[in-house]
Amino acid sequence: MLDPPLEELGEHLLKTMVLLVQGFPNQISALRFEWAWQHPSRSRRLSSRVTPKTSKEKSLNFHVRVVAEMLLAPPWDPPIHMPIVYGPVRSIKIASKANDSPEQEILICSICFSDIDITDESVKCISHKCSAASHMTCLANHFLVKDPERLLPVNGSCPVCDLDILPIKMNQHEEYQYLNLISNIIKNGNNKGDRTGTGTKSIFGAQMRFSLRNNDQQMQMSLRKKKVRIWDGNSSREFLDSMGFTNREEGDLGPVYGFQWRHYGAEYNNMHTDYQGKGVDQLSHVIKTIKENPNDRRILMCAWNPKDIPLMALPPCHCLAQFYVANGELSCQLYQRSADMGLGVPFNIASYSLLTIMLAHVTNLKPGEFIHTLGDAHVYNNHIDALEEQLKREPRPFPTMKLKRNVECIESFTFDDFELIGYNPHPKIVMKMAV
């Protein structure tokens, strides 16, 4: 962010200029970007793209041109969904404009209280209960009031509802999408009852996006053998009995996710029955369609089967996945009807990201994005203290997943095929699962 004084600055007069380039995974990447911006002729990524500054070209125009070129060049080119936002550059002497446009609804900046023009870059509060809006430049300066020594704001709160927004951090590390959502739910969520009797703070409708581009290229029993016990709470003898499945063997969840993915529509007996060739194999159909018709808009996998729901220990929370192929990349969007922000959502993000990486590998594509769309996004009341502790922690760099061998068939993957690189978690925070 540049905030020069109100006197003449060489060849141009500036009132305020704000340039925010967001999305860096760490500070080293941000510093590399800054160095390349300042020395485009010496950068191997830019030297062939950016022509030298001409004698008649203003310095400001040149540097803006360099940024524009940088955002079109790897590794800085942003995902399609990421907007490039910059504040208006205006001379102190602003010419008056004729108001010949039709009358429109006026949006007022919550900070400077002036109108927000339709052409202005503006931002709105992330809270669904707050109507605050402001100019991008006003919000940046608002955040800097509490820390005037900084050139860039590193955190801040909404000027109306006081919600912690963390705008720059949110974009520097993708985990801030998750942390900001938790903060919003705890502060502004609706108090609701739930199936478990625990009680929740809840909002309806949210979305997060995670890049998978830095990755190289019978389940319940297998998980237990590997000491992974995520399903134990919903497959225990006590839980099954409470749901009326008194004759079902402990550990038998019924026709849940894996059954619906591979045998949709088949008659369910128990977890030991051989269902080979029965029902619709949605996963195989997804792989076949990605390979043969990647532009198809019907590459879906659904776990929600109304006929089988009475037989399930727990109806599917993450119930619909859609896959999308573009530019040699495979992306996945998941719709999750019920999202336990403390315990469930982090695992769902990791598991569907891994699934996307695996599917990209067997279809000769690169992993693109994982988009997570949430219906009832909630924080259990007995998780609030633990999650408030998590909100105080600085996210560490995401690990990368490396596939150690070439796998051609989705069924051929084993635990030993995966290598998690750079996993450096904080100490665990204990939260009790609501069942």
Active site residues: 317
Bridge-based pairing state of the strands 366-380 and 329-340: parallel
Interatomic CA distance for residues 253 and 245, integer angstroms: 10
Give 47's DSSP letter: T
Describe the crossing of helices 59-70 and 27-38 by its angle, rounded to 10 degrees: 130
> What b/e readout covers 264-288, taking b as 16+ CB neighbours within 10 angstroms?
bebebeebeeebeeebebbbeebbe
> What b/e readout covers 44-71, taking b as 16+ CB neighbours within 10 angstroms?
ebbeeebeebeeeeeebebbeebbebbe
Contact 158, 188 (CB under 8 A): no
Three-class secondary structure of residue 115 per DSSP: strand
Strands lying side by side in the sheet with 318-326? 190-192, 200-211, 366-380, 329-340, 318-326, 300-302
Interatomic CA distance for residues 179 and 392, integer angstroms: 10
- CA atoms lying within 13 Å on the CB side of residue 259: 26
